[in-house]
Structure 1
């Protein structure tokens, strides 16, 4: 068993323990393996260990990696039955206008929509042969000046606009709250995002995803209803940002 496989088991165990603690069904909480800065070989190792969804923050790195995974998946050392088509790619980083086409063409999910202009471009540039792009609105739930995301009070307006776009499928909300080691503070931020999601539903907007929770606040996110946690270094190890 590879180290990545062992790490994946440990992460799934942590999710299951948090779910048991807070009365959740662990099967309702998806794991997104954040593979930014890690090589395609690590993605395939995780895929062979049963992980299907991978998150990337940097567009060009991701596009190159997707191509490399495709190449490696056809190589003998990864087995004749390995297919990169089974991998679900999620874009979770900031989006520049000049990168929307690459995102629209290469990803199944986008978690970081915060502007109507970006949403419009993604819808317009999504290839017709692909299914609608699954998207989440990124909410600046803690109101930090340094953080990306739509303000909570503007979320409903943006959600209505995104819902109207033909090549996007609005799935839910994403947030990266202010860092804290206090579980009560973590829970307050996630509870605010969950409440915002409920307000969207009350307004007639169908959403089913709360993308929230990372290694340091996984339990708090699960407690407040996360349906997708984003975990990176606990699976792949320490990041090398010089790559």
Structure 2
């Protein structure tokens, strides 16, 4: 299966799942996780109409962004972000999904302002309590939001929440984690405003389940590209 066929299949599954959940497919943004993929594979997906791409290593992403931003696409940073890499966010990435400290928010604000850009931020919440994953505990979420909002940082905008599902657990547990993140987003929207509208959850193994539980962004890699470097046009 070539990449255009693969993304057509994923989009169809998104549409069918959204319809079953009483939602529109337009409510779900497909982020093609292009980490460790060659630029040629990304170019092939761009030619198929894909506009959102996710990377998790800054240095790897920068070379791709320089080469592939014509026509314009939106770049999402979806990996753990080290504070010394934040200087590269402004001018390169439109979204960062993995904010878990005020320090990161401040540093991205500075980078974005220097680039004359506004970067959309999602706060990563470890709703599953997986000790192997980064992210905020639930009781750390509101204090961080309030700290960032009170600081009045320019060049950034808090847009929603993100989580990474626990692997190899029953579907019911995954669904419970996704549902809990949706509840947290709804609380944030009530407390802090309609800007809290985005819910990034679900990857190749569980993105359909995430859509059923309200995801507005799904991060799909292997379901598009197959095994690493196994793509063909």
* TM-score when normalising by structure 2: 0.92
CA contact (8 A) 1:56 1:62 kept: yes
Aligned mates of 1:168, 1:161 — CA distance in 2? 14
Alpha-carbon distance between aligned partners in 2 of 1:158 and 1:216, rounded to the nearest angstrom = 30
Which sits farther off after the overlay, 129-138 or 8-17? 129-138
Q: Does 1:17 align with 2:16?
A: yes
**8 Å CA contact retained: 2:91, 2:115:** no
Determine the C-alpha separation between the residues in 2 that align with 1:46 and 1:162.
36
Q: Deviation at 1:16?
A: 1.1
Kept in 2: contact 1:181–1:216 (CA 8 A): no
Q: Which residue of 2 aligns with 1:105?
A: 91
Q: Name which of structure 1's ranges 131-140 and 163-172 shifts more when overlaid on structure 2.
A: 163-172
Q: How many residues align?
A: 226
Q: How does 1:134-173 map to 2 (within 5 A)?
A: 134-163=120-149, 164-173=152-161
Question: Contact 2:189 / 2:197 at 8 angstroms: preserved in 1?
Answer: no
Give the match for residue 164 of structure 2: 176
Provide, for residues 149-198 of structure 1, a one-character-per-residue CA deviation record: whole Å limited to 9, x for no partner.
01111111112233332111111000002114533222100011001111
- For 2:165 and 2:202, how far apart are their aligned partners in 1? 9
Residue 210 (structure 2) pairs with residue 224 (structure 1):
no
Give the superposition deviation at 1:125.
1.6
So what's the TM-score if we normalise by structure 1? 0.88
Measure, in 1, the Cα distance between the counterparts of 2:31 and 2:160: 15
Q: For 1:180-238, what per-residue CA distance to the aligned partner results, in whole angstroms no more than 9, with x for missing partners?
A: 45332221000110011111122134301000111111122111110010001111221
Cα distance in 2 for partners of 1:46, 1:187 equals 30
Could you list the runs of 5+ residues in structure 2 that have no partner in the other structure? none
SS at match of 2:196: coil
SS of the residue corresponding to residue 8 of structure 2 reads helix
Structure 1 position 127, deviation (Å): 3.8
Q: Which runs of 4+ in 1 moved over 4 A?
A: none
Q: Distance in 2 between matches of 1:32 and 1:161?
A: 29
Partner SS state of residue 106, structure 1: coil
CA RMSD of aligned residues (A): 1.5
